[in-house]
Amino acid sequence: MSLTLDSGQALKFPILIGDIGGTNARFALLVDAFAEPKTFPVVKTADFATLDDAIQATVLDKTSLQPKSAVLAVAGPIDGNEIPLTNCDWVVKPRGMLATLGLGEIIVLNDFEAQALAVSSLPERSRQKIGGGTPHEGASRVVVGPGTGLGVAGLVRARKMWIPVAGEGGHIDIGPRSDRDFAIWPHLDTIEGRVSAEQVLCGRGLVNIYDALCKVDGVAATLTDPAEITEAASSRNNAQSSEAVELFATYLGRVAGDLALIFMARGGVYIGGGIFQRIIPILKPERLREAFEDKAPHSAVMRDIPLYVITEPLAALSGLATFARTPRFFGIETTGRRWTA
């Protein structure tokens, strides 16, 4: 069983690359191994009945180039020939796509594998450091991203290859620590009684925190979506929205620190996801860093682990392009995730 594609199995150009999330889909074409990806406008998944329709309308109808291969990152577990997305009604059907879109080969990865691929070579200009720490060359890395859901992936170095480790880390348990947490927790929406990290660290998670704060404080919850809460926090005209953003940062720091310990990520922990990028201007980075390092008895270890925010909006596409150009440099298991015509 081959862990990755060898030079004889290299993907044929042009290569379609796609980052398919629960809310948005992003596409690009890679013409050859040296060209920068040709990107297309970001589209809403809700605007198309199927992924095939989105690719046809967004890419194929807009260019004369016919892709021969595709590398797609999707928000959901990949198991079998039909892949339902976790937070979207689309079902990815690679065998059908080979015929309908005229492709010769399709590789499907987890969306946070793509994020992990990106942090293997993310330049300084595409990341913002929070606090101290020194990255260790070749050491493990972690990427965590609050968006429609909460994505998590690790990146480890072995046999001169970067190996992304995908999973469902966003669904780990998260519990209360402070007095305020203990007051809030009984009012949080749960899934079968569980408060997972994703229940507080994603778009609906920010709303979940805000609603719980309103119940504890005995005020009406007048804001109903993440954008409204973020805007209210930015203009500082709503106490519960401001506190919701502060707690969001604290809880994200705690989870990021846990993941750093799990992977011993001396290469750094990277925060991606659209929600976090929108609240960066209004949160206190030191609050997030403090929660990240607060991991007794290993606080000294944590102080040496760097924490970054990914500022490149198309990081996943960049990671997919890096893999598509030189798959032999990455230890990616393609068995069961690669379809050929």
Same domain, 48 and 65: yes
3-state SS string for 272-283: CCHHHHHHHHHC
What tens digit of pLDDT does each residue of 263-313 get? 999 999 999 987 887 888 888 889 999 999 999 999 999 999 999 999 988
Q: What are phi and psi of 138, to 5 degrees?
A: 80, 0
Q: Is 2 contained in some domain?
A: no
Whole-number average pLDDT of the chain: 92
Residues 154 and 287 in one domain: yes
| CATH number of the domain that residue 334 is part of | 3.30.420.40
Residues 23 and 155 in one domain: no
pLDDT in tens, 98-142: 999 999 999 999 888 999 999 988 888 999 999 999 999 999 999
For residues 270 and 294, state if they share a domain.
Answer: yes
CA angle, 267 then 196 then 262, to 5° = 25
Quick: pLDDT tens for 51-84: 999 999 999 999 999 999 999 999 878 888 999 9
Q: What is the pLDDT of residue 45?
A: 94
Are 147 and 245 in the same domain? yes
Residues in contact with 166: Cβ distance below 8 Å, sequence separation at least 6, in sequence order: 109, 110, 112, 113, 116, 153
Residues 83 and 154 in one domain: no
Flag whether 48 is in a domain: yes
Structural domain span for residue 60: 7-116+315-340
The total domain count for the chain is: 2
**pLDDT above 90 as % of the chain:** 78
